[in-house]
Structure 1
Amino acid sequence: MSNKQVWKPSDELIHTCNLSRFAKTIGFEPPNYTQLHEWSVKNKTDFWQNVWNFTEILGDRGDLVLQHEDSFVKSTWFPNARLNFAENLLRRFDDDVAIVSVTELGSRTEVTFSDLRKKVAQFAGALSERGVQSGDRVAAYLPNVVETIIAMLGTASIGAVWSSSSPDFGFQGAFDRFSQIAPKVLIVCDGYTYNGKEFNVSQNSNLLAQNIPSIEHVITLNFLSNDEDDFDAIYRRPESSWKFQRFPFNHPLYVMYSSGTTGRPKCIVHGAGGTLIQHMKEHQLHVNLAAGSKIFFYTTCGWMMWHWLVSALASKSTIVLFEGSAFWPHPNTLIQMIETENINVFGAGAKYYSALEKARVKPKEECDLASLESMQSTGSPLAPESFDFVYRDVKNSVQMASISGGTDLISCFALGIPWLPVHRGELQGPGLGMAVNVFDENGDPIRSKKGELVCTETFPTKPIGFWNDPDDQKFRSAYFDKFPSVWAHGDFAEINEATGGLIIHGRSDAVLNPSGFRIGTAEIYRQVEAMTEITEALCIGQDWNNDVRVVLFVVVAPEFEFSTELTSPIKQRIRKNASPRHVPSKVIAVPEIPRTRSGKIAELAVREVVHGREIDNTSALANPDCLAQFRDLPELQID
C-alpha cells in the first residue's frame, strides 16, 4: 500500500524546529525519526527525564523517573517529583496576550499573561475562602471562554480537582457526571449561544446545585447578560502575596468522562504531572509551539481537546478560544480567524473539514492565510478527500496533521512530526515515548494489515485511575482485558509499512463483520461522504440469518432527493474504491445522524436501537431524539 505524499517539511523547518533542538541534546541528528522514536521507547526513563529538562518544567524532579516499570497498571511516573500545574502554565509575567476569546456573536476579549496570573490568584483566593482544599472537586458547567480557564487554573493552583462540562449538556448529562465525584463547588452559567440563538440553562444550573448534596457553594457566570456576577466580585478582591504550593507529580488534576452510551460515564482521573509533561512534549516537539506562537482548536470545555489547548500556555504560546457554531453566521467563520488573529496552528474535528468542503468554501481565495503553519484534525479519521481539500483549497504548504488519542490518555498516540512528510489519509507517526503498535487477534504485531491499535509500554498520561475504582477493576477491564499488560485502545488501525504512517479505520467495537470479514466503518464513510449528494453517513452491522449484514444510513444533501437511483451509485462507488465485501445490503436515508457531544458518530447506539435494545445513557449524545428514527424500520425486517 502506498499513499500519495502531499507535503514535506522544508530543510529550514527540519533544522530549526524544536524537535531537532531536542534530538541534538541527546545525540541524535535529524531527520531519522524512526531511530529517535525507537530510542525513546526502549529508553523511556532517559527519554522522559530529558523531556522534563528540555521543556523546563518548574518543579522538583526527584531522582526516580519510573516505579513499578514491569506493571502497566501499577507503574508510577516521577514518584518523588513535586510541581504545581498552574504555576507552569502561568510562567510568563509580561503584558503580551495570553488568551484571545471570540464568540460567534462577534465579541472579542484579550487577557495578558500578567492579568491572567492576577485573576487566577484572585479566583484561587475565592476558592480558599469557600473552604476548598487540596483534593476537593470543583465542577464547572461553562462555555469556552476566558473565565473557564481562570477558574480551572485557580482550582489547580490550590491542588483541587477540576471537572468540566459544556452547557449544551442537559441536566441529566451533567448530573450523571458531576454527581459521581461529589464536588464541593459548582461553577455555572446562565446560558450560551449557538447558530445565533440564545439558550438559557439557568434551570439546569439550579437543578444541579439542588440535586448534588456535596455542593456547598455555587459560583455564577453571566454569559448571556452583562449583569453583575460572581466573577466580577472575585476580580475586585485585593491583590495579595501568592505562592504556589507544589504537589506530587501524580496528584489528581482532572476528572474526565467516557462518552459511551452504555451505563453512566466512567470517571477517568488524570494527574497533574503526567498531563503537563505529555502536553509540553506534544506541543513543543510535535506541534512546534514556542513563545509567540498562536494556537486555536475548535472545542468545548467538555472535550479533552480543551484541556490540551489550554496546556499550550505552558509553552509560552497564545491560545485562541471560540464559543459558538463553526458555521454561523457563515461557513468561513473559523477560517477568517486565521487571518484576523494571525493563527499559526489551527485545529478542529475531522468532520469540520469535510463539512467545509461540502459548503464549497475556498479559504485560500477568501482569506489571507500567511500565518498558518499547520492544521490539526482529530475526533475521527480524517478522510483522504479532506487531505485533498486542504492542499487544494486551503494552503498547499501547510502541514496537515491528523492526530489520534483520546480522553483515556488526555493526549495522543499518533500525531504530527515536523521531520516527516504527510501522506494522504495517514497520521504521520507515533508520538515520542509512545510504544504504539497494531496487533492481530493473537496479539502479534502486523504491518500493512488491519488490527487492534495498542500501546505496549506505560506512559505518563496513563490515567492515575478511575473514580470510585479502588482495586482498579474497571480500569483493567477498560484497557487490559484484550491483551495481558498491553493497552488496547479500541481503534481498528493499520501501520503502513512503506511510510510508517498510521491509518485509523474506525472503532474496534464498531467493526463490521459480514461472513467473518472485518471492515472498518471509516473505509465506507470515506467513499460515501465524498459524494456531493451525501452530507453524512453511519454504518452498522445488523444480525441477520445467522450472519451479519452491512446497513448504511445516509443523510442526503438538501438539493437532492433519495431514491433507488441514488442507491446504485453509492453501492458502485463502494464496490469500486473499497471492495465488493464493503457494499451494504441496505442503504437507508435518514434526516439526522446521532453524534456524541464531541462530534463522534454514535454507531453503537444506532446498532443497539436497530436490534431493539435500550440505550442506558442517551445524555452522552448531542441529539438523542434522532435515535427514534432507527427503531423498527420496515426495511430492516426483510431481506
Structure 2
Amino acid sequence: MASPLWQPGNAQQHSQLAKFWQQARDNSGQPLADYNALHDWSVNEPEAFWQQVWDFCELKGTPGDTVLARQERFQDTRWFPDARLNYAENLLRRNDQHSALISVLEDGHRQVISYAELRVAAGRVAAQLKAAGIQPGDRVAGFMPNRIETVIAALGAAWIGAVWSSCSPDFGVSGVLDRFGQIEPRVLIACDGYQYNGKWIDLEPRIDALHQALEPELLIVVPGKGTSSRVEKALIWQSWLDGASTAPEFTPLPFNHPLFILYSSGTTGQPKCIVHGAGGTLLQQAKELQLHGDVGSDDTLFYFTTCGWMMWNWLICGLHTGATLVLYDGNPGYPNTARLFDLIDAEAISHFGTSAKFIQAVEKSGLVPRESHQLGSLRILFSTGSPLLHESYDFLYQQVKPDLLVSSISGGTDIISCFALGNPLLPVYRGELQCAGLGMDVAVLDDQGNLLSGSKGELVCRQPFPSCPVQFWNDPDGSRFHNAYFARFDGIWAHGDYAETVPHEHHDGLIIHGRSDAVLNPGGVRIGTAEIYRQVETLDEIREAIVVGQEWQGDVRVVLFVVLTAGEALTDALQARIRKAIREGASPRHVPAVIAAVPEIPRTVSGKIVELAVREVIHGREVSNRNALANPDALAHFAHRVELQA
C-alpha cells in the first residue's frame, strides 16, 4: 500500500465535517467509527442524513415534515416536497460589512463589495425585474464575464423566482443561440466587452445579433469600460439599478422550483438544457462546501471559472458559508503562470480551485510556487475538469506546498455538484480522489451491472440524490432525460465516467480514467484515455495530447495526437520515447499504433478536450455541432491524415 502524501492533523479534528460526524453519531445512536460507516449511514438513512445537512448548514426556509417522497422511478423521487425556501435569501443571509465578493480583472482592475452592499444591489435587480412583469419561472439570461454584476444579476433573478442561465462571452453568436434560443429568455443581461490575453474583446456586434435573434423584452448592458455603451436599444446597468424601487420580499418557493438552466457541451448535437432546482442545488452544494471543503465564514474561496461552467454556480454558493469569494476574469496564464499564485498572496486565498490542465501548465512552465510565493493563507486546493495526473500530485506537494490538502473532485453539469470529493479527515493518496460524497450512493459496475471493487467500470449512483436535475427543457415526456442517464442500467444513474474504487482500511478512494464514451477498445480490452495522458503529458517535449480509437481492419487501434513544445519535432526517437513511457507506465496494450503531431487540440468553451469530435473527424464523419467548440477550426488538423491510411 502506498504511503499517503498528506494526512489530517489536529486542526482538521475541529473541521465542520468533524462536528457533523459527531452530530451523526449522537442522532443515529451508532458509533460510525470510520468514513465507510459514516458514508453507509448517509446513503442507508437518507431522510436522517439530509435533514441533518439542512439543519447543520442552517438553510433558511421551512423544510416541511417529509424529507423524501419515494417513487417507482429514480428520477421521479421528490425531496422535501413540502419545503419552501429562497436561494437568494440563503446566499444573502450574512448582511454586514464583511467582504462578499472581490473581483479582479486581467488588466488589474479590482472591486470589492460587502454582503450588505450585495444584498442591496441584488434587491434592486429583483425590484426592477418584478416591475417589468417578470414572474417565477421566467428566464433571465446572462452573456457575461465573471464579474460582480453577474452574481448580482443571478441573485436578483433568484430573489423573485426567475430562472438564471448564463453563457460566457467567449461563445460565438451561434453557440449562444444554440443555448438561449431554446429557453427563450424574457431578459438578456450582457457585458459589451472584456479583456483576455492582453487584448480587448468587443462584444457589441454579438450583443446586437443576439438581441435581434432572441427578441428579449429587456436588454440590459454592463459597460466593460466606463459608464456608457454603444449597444443599441439597451438599458445601461447602473442607470437601470438606480431606478429601482424598494426591494420586494424574498419569494418562498418549492424545493424543486427551477433555479438554473445549464447546458451540456453540445459536441454531439444541440446542447441539452439541464434544469436544476433551487433546493437541491443549495442543499448539495452547502454540503460539499462546508463538510467536504471545510469552507467557513472566515475563509476566502476562489475558483477559476467562466460563467459557462458549472463551477461558477458552485463557487457563488460559497456565499452561503459567509466566506469571501474572489472572482477572476481573464487568461489565468497571462502574462505568465504566476498570475493566479500572485492572486493567492494578494487576496489571502485559503481555498483555491483550478483545473488539472492548469496545474500541468504551471509545472511545464518551470514555475516553483513554493519558492516564488508565500502561500501562507492557502490550506486547500481543489482540482477538477479532468483527472489530476499522479505526477501533478507530486508537483503540488513538492513544488507548491507540502502541507496542502489537495482535493481532486469530480461530478458535472448534469448534477451541478460532485460524486467524488475531498475530505479534511482522510489521507490523500497519489492519483486518487479521496472519497465518494456523503449521501451519494456511488459505485462502479461492470457491463452486466455487477459491483466492482479495484477494477475499472462504469461510475454510477444507485440511489436518488437531491441535486438530480428537475428536468430537461423542452422534454415533455422525459424521454431525453431518461436516455441520458437511466438507459444503461435500469433505475440507476449512469454518469458516463470510466472509474474504479480503491479500497483502504477505513474508506474507499476513487480513480477516474476518463469518459466512458471515449474509452478505447483495442482487441476487446477497455482502456481509459487518462491512463495514456498520464504517461505522455509528463514528457517535456509534449505540451498536451489527445487520444482516440480508429476503426481499423475489423478492430480498433489507438491513435495519439500530440502538441509539441515550441522548438521540438516529432522525430522517430521522440516517438520511441513516447511508446516506451506508455508501455512501461501503463501496458503494451496502451501503446498507440499511430502518433501524429498537430498544432492545437479542439476544446469546448469550458476547456475540455473533445475526443468524440476528433474521432468523428478521423473517420470522415460530420461533427454535428461545431458551435460548441472554442476553436472549431482545429478539427481540420485531424482530417485526411496520411498517417491514418496505413
SS state at 1:501 partner: strand
One-letter amino acid matched to 1:481: A
For residue 336 of structure 2, what is the aligned residue in structure 1? 330
SS state at 1:253 partner: strand
For residue 232 of structure 2, what is the aligned residue in structure 1? none
2:364 equivalent among 336, 352, 358: 358
One-letter amino acid matched to 2:510: L
Cα shift at 1:601: 1.1
SS state at 1:120 partner: helix
Q: Quick check: 1:31–1:419 contact (8 Å CA) kept in 2?
A: no
Partners of 2:266 and 2:186 in 1: CA distance: 26
For residue 22 of structure 2, what is the aligned residue in structure 1? 24
One-letter amino acid matched to 2:645: Q
Partners of 2:226 and 2:116 in 1: CA distance: 27
SS state at 1:87 partner: helix
Residue 134, structure 1, aligned to residue 155, structure 2: no
One-letter amino acid matched to 1:611: H
1:529 equivalent among 537, 551, 558: 537
Residue 416, structure 1, aligned to residue 411, structure 2: no
Residue 105, structure 1, aligned to residue 115, structure 2: no
For residue 606 of structure 2, what is the aligned residue in structure 1? 598
Q: Quick check: 1:118–1:239 contact (8 Å CA) kept in 2?
A: no
For residue 339 of structure 1, what is the aligned residue in structure 2? 345
Closer, same or farther: CA 374–31 of 1 in aligned 2, 3 Å: farther
What are the superposed Cα offsets for residues 544-585 of structure 1, whole Å, 9 maximum, x if unpaired? 000000000000100322211210000011001100000000
Q: Quick check: 1:97–1:112 contact (8 Å CA) kept in 2?
A: yes
Structure 1 residues 302-311 or 180-189, which shifts more? 180-189
For residue 560 of structure 1, what is the aligned residue in structure 2? 568
For residue 66 of structure 1, what is the aligned residue in structure 2? 68
Partners of 2:595 and 2:537 in 1: CA distance: 14
For residue 623 of structure 1, what is the aligned residue in structure 2? 631
For residue 456 of structure 1, what is the aligned residue in structure 2? 462
Q: Quick check: 1:270–1:461 contact (8 Å CA) kept in 2?
A: yes
Partners of 1:547 and 1:591 in 2: CA distance: 28
Partners of 2:406 and 2:364 in 1: CA distance: 19
Q: Quick check: 1:427–1:501 contact (8 Å CA) kept in 2?
A: yes
The residue correspondences of 1:183-262 to structure 2 (distance < 5 A) are 183-213=185-215, 215-227=216-228, 230-237=236-243, 240=246, 242-262=248-268
Report how many residues are paired.
635
What are the superposed Cα offsets for residues 267-311 of structure 1, whole Å, 9 maximum, x if unpaired? 000000000000100011000011121100000000000000000
The residue correspondences of 1:231-630 to structure 2 (distance < 5 A) are 231-237=237-243, 240=246, 242-498=248-504, 500-630=508-638
Partners of 1:137 and 1:351 in 2: CA distance: 33
Q: Quick check: 1:452–1:493 contact (8 Å CA) kept in 2?
A: yes
2:96 equivalent among 91, 94, 97: 94
One-letter amino acid matched to 1:25: Q
Cα shift at 1:4: 4.1
SS state at 2:74 partner: coil
Q: Quick check: 1:93–1:113 contact (8 Å CA) kept in 2?
A: yes
Q: Quick check: 1:31–1:420 contact (8 Å CA) kept in 2?
A: no
1:176 equivalent among 175, 178, 191: 178
- TM-score, normalised via structure 1 length: 0.98
Partners of 2:97 and 2:455 in 1: CA distance: 52
Q: Quick check: 1:268–1:463 contact (8 Å CA) kept in 2?
A: yes
Closer, same or farther: CA 405–370 of 1 in aligned 2, 3 Å: same
SS state at 1:7 partner: coil
Q: Quick check: 2:125–2:244 contact (8 Å CA) kept in 1?
A: no
Q: Quick check: 2:128–2:244 contact (8 Å CA) kept in 1?
A: no
Partners of 1:78 and 1:626 in 2: CA distance: 47
Partners of 1:93 and 1:465 in 2: CA distance: 33
SS state at 1:596 partner: coil
Structure 1 residues 329-338 or 219-228, which shifts more? 219-228
Partners of 1:618 and 1:349 in 2: CA distance: 23
Cα shift at 1:230: 1.7
What are the superposed Cα offsets for residues 464-484 of structure 1, whole Å, 9 maximum, x if unpaired? 010011111000000001100
Cα shift at 1:621: 1.1
Q: Quick check: 2:126–2:247 contact (8 Å CA) kept in 1?
A: no
**RMSD of aligned Cα (Å):** 1.2
Q: Quick check: 1:30–1:419 contact (8 Å CA) kept in 2?
A: no
SS state at 1:502 partner: strand
Cα shift at 1:630: 0.4
Partners of 2:105 and 2:119 in 1: CA distance: 23
SS state at 1:422 partner: coil
SS state at 2:530 partner: helix
For residue 12 of structure 1, what is the aligned residue in structure 2? 11
SS state at 2:508 partner: coil
What are the superposed Cα offsets for residues 457-499 of structure 1, whole Å, 9 maximum, x if unpaired? 0000000010011111000000001100000000000101236
Cα shift at 1:227: 2.5
One-letter amino acid matched to 1:17: S
Partners of 2:8 and 2:328 in 1: CA distance: 29
One-letter amino acid matched to 2:532: I
Cα shift at 1:31: 6.7
One-letter amino acid matched to 1:20: A
SS state at 1:322 partner: strand
Q: Quick check: 1:104–1:329 contact (8 Å CA) kept in 2?
A: no
Structure 1 residues 497-506 or 408-417, which shifts more? 497-506
Partners of 1:234 and 1:53 in 2: CA distance: 38
Q: Quick check: 1:142–1:164 contact (8 Å CA) kept in 2?
A: yes
Contiguous gaps of at least 5 residues in structure 1: none
Cα shift at 1:261: 0.9
Cα shift at 1:131: 1.6
Aligned identity (percent) is 51
Cα shift at 1:238: 5.5
What are the superposed Cα offsets for residues 563-618 of structure 1, whole Å, 9 maximum, x if unpaired? 11210000011001100000000000100011111111100000000000111111
Partners of 2:228 and 2:336 in 1: CA distance: 29
Closer, same or farther: CA 550–241 of 1 in aligned 2, 3 Å: closer
One-letter amino acid matched to 2:638: F
What are the superposed Cα offsets for residues 323-365 of structure 1, whole Å, 9 maximum, x if unpaired? 0000111210001111100000000111000001001111111
Cα shift at 1:68: 2.4
Q: Quick check: 2:127–2:244 contact (8 Å CA) kept in 1?
A: no
Partners of 2:305 and 2:481 in 1: CA distance: 26
Cα shift at 1:619: 1.5
Q: Quick check: 2:442–2:462 contact (8 Å CA) kept in 1?
A: yes
What are the superposed Cα offsets for residues 417-457 of structure 1, whole Å, 9 maximum, x if unpaired? 11100000000000000000000111011111100000000
- TM-score, normalised via structure 2 length: 0.97
One-letter amino acid matched to 2:47: T
For residue 641 of structure 2, what is the aligned residue in structure 1? 633
Partners of 1:307 and 1:155 in 2: CA distance: 14
Closer, same or farther: CA 630–225 of 1 in aligned 2, 3 Å: farther
Partners of 2:463 and 2:279 in 1: CA distance: 18
Q: Quick check: 2:345–2:377 contact (8 Å CA) kept in 1?
A: yes
Partners of 1:622 and 1:555 in 2: CA distance: 17
